[in-house]
Amino acid sequence: MSTIVMSGCATGIGAATRQALEAAGHKIIGIDIRDAEVIADLSSAAGRQQAIAAALEQCAGTLDGIVLCAGLGPQTKVVGNVVSVNYFGATELMDAFLPALKQGYQPAAVVISSVASAHLPFEKNPLAPALEAGDEAGARAIVENAGEQGGNLAYAGSKNALTVAVRKRAADWGKAGVRLNTIAPGATETPLLQAGLQDPRYGESIAKFVPPLGRRAEPAEMASVIAFLMSPGAAYVHGAQIVIDGGIDAMMRPTEF
């Protein structure tokens, strides 16, 4: 039985992924603000360190996988928390768990990004310099001072920088024998999406975000791809971002990939 740490395991894509991985025989150590083995708030540095320490204690320093699903949407009231959870809540956990992954069997990691990550070029991402420098306070200040656009900037900017952070780690992680990939979900029927639909600032644009397949995804459709990436069947998939969006990225950006 392999041991996998999961963040954001209580709802949405994370809950569906946990179910899929447990059905495949994996032991899950979940991290979330409720209904998890490790209760922690990834929006603060102290909460992240608490989560890391507790998870490492529960796995005794050896991991076969990590799946980082924790994330916040643009409608989040404290908009700086979107940056803290989406970016630092993933990158700090990635780096902290790498030594334990090196001790594991056929170790693999999947980080949940977003199709929005590709819609903001890194060189034009206002958050990129602060995030790459580890300046959490500076990145939070940028989005908190961005007015009505703060939520969208926090979400797209954090997810764009997160995918770049994963790709920049691919060389070192590959040498360490640990596969690392991201998935980029499109609109998925989750509590996060429902909260966005009910927000007067973003509801209309989210509702119009309909892919060529004509429907939103179910969380289980994301979970099945994550389970594949965590399996031996994906043994040569490394440093990739798998877009799972019903075709909307291809429709919007047919010449960019």
Would you name the residues annotated as active-site residues?
155
| Alpha-carbon gap, residue 223 to 100, rounded angstroms | 24
Q: How far apart are alpha carbons 153 and 144 in whole angstroms?
A: 10
3-state secondary structure of 236: coil
In angstroms, rounded to a whole number, what is the distance separating the alpha carbons of residues 249 and 57? Answer: 40
**Cβ partners under 8 Å of residue 129, min gap 6:** none
Cβ-Cβ contacts under 8 Å for 73 (sequence gap 6 or more): 82, 151, 155, 192, 193, 195, 196
Could you tell me the CA-to-CA distances from 212 to 54, 113, 251, 252 in Å, in that order?
43, 21, 7, 10
> 3 and 56 in contact (C-beta within 8 Å)?
no
Give every strand in the sheet of 27-32, ordered side by side: 38-39, 27-32, 3-7, 65-68, 108-112, 179-185, 241-244
Other Cβ atoms closer than 10 A to 134: 12
